[in-house]
Amino acid sequence: MIGAVPMTHGLMVAGMLFVLGLVGLLVRRNIIYMLMSIEIMLNAAGLAFIVAASRWGQPDGQIMFIVILSTAAAEVAVGLALVLRFYSRFKTLDADVANDMRG
Amino acid sequence: MTAVFYIASAIAIVSTVMVITRMQPVHSLLYLIVSLLAVSLVFFVLGAPFIAALEVIVYAGAIMVLFVFVIMMLNLGREAAEQERRWIDISMWKGPSLLALVLLALMFYALHSGNPGAVSGRVVSPKEMSIALFGPYLMVVELSSILLLAGLVGAYHLARRETGNEERRRS
């Protein structure tokens, strides 16, 4: 129990956000949407850590959130650079265009 | 305070559903920012005020600004002007701003009704977190800095303009 809100409710919110991000990643074919869905999923994982930190009253979960935050920042920088390269080569943002290899 | 948690969670889920169902990238970006703000309010209520501030500054601030930059850069050409005209239209921003107004009211309520983190048993203060971060978790700080440096170098390398010898290397 975290006060009046049970821990399961916080974890349920995190799980729903994660599943929504996963659905967005699987359904949408636009690369920008796929990156946004990855952000949603990382954020949901961080929410689960914060709920756990609140449950036990320890700072460890918040430190894991900082790790997730820096991972997301590095990931989005590289990902958006890849999006720019992708668009300059294929003139579209459809991820299915890039499904063939040249070799 | 429990009502703040549930309403903010509901706003986060609703705006995330809107993110993955919109057709215009800028629309879903606005909803994504609202979703991150709602999650930040959840953090505040759960007794992590420093993490809530970090969420607003880094996620809703820096990362979303990167997304906006890229979307603006990709929207070149003559259709950009009429698209801009459509963005000023009220139907585009009334949903996100309505959700953001509810969040603002919730935040005022949470700030006025006593100490942060009334839902959780204990508020983990920034001081306590910093002592843990630079004590037993010092290696995490170093690894994060190396990761960010690698991300910086990788983003710089990938976003460079294609030069002539790129073609030669590929053939």
Note whether A43 contacts B19, CB cutoff 8 Å: no
CA angle B39–B129–A44, rounded 5-degree value: 25
User: How far B85 CA sits from the closest chain A CA (Å)?
Assistant: 22
User: How far A90 CA sits from the closest chain B CA (Å)?
Assistant: 12
pLDDT digits (tens, 9 = 90+) for B66-107: 888 888 888 755 566 666 666 666 777 788 888 888 888 888
Task: Give which of B16, B34, B49, B26 is closest to B103, Cα–Cα.
Answer: B34
Separation of alpha carbons B108 and A97, rounded Å: 48
Separation of alpha carbons A38 and A64, rounded Å: 17
Determine which helix (DSSP H) or strand (DSSP E) holds A102, and give its type and residue range.
Answer: none
Phi, psi of B28 (to 5 degrees): -70, -25
ipTM of the complex: 0.89
pTM of the model: 0.85
pLDDT digits (tens, 9 = 90+) for A9-40: 889 999 999 999 999 999 888 888 899 999 99
- Helices A31-56 and B2-21: crossing angle in degrees, nearest 10, is 160
Separation of alpha carbons A92 and A49, rounded Å: 37
Which residue of B56, B120, B161 to mutate against A (max A Cβ within 10 Å)? B120
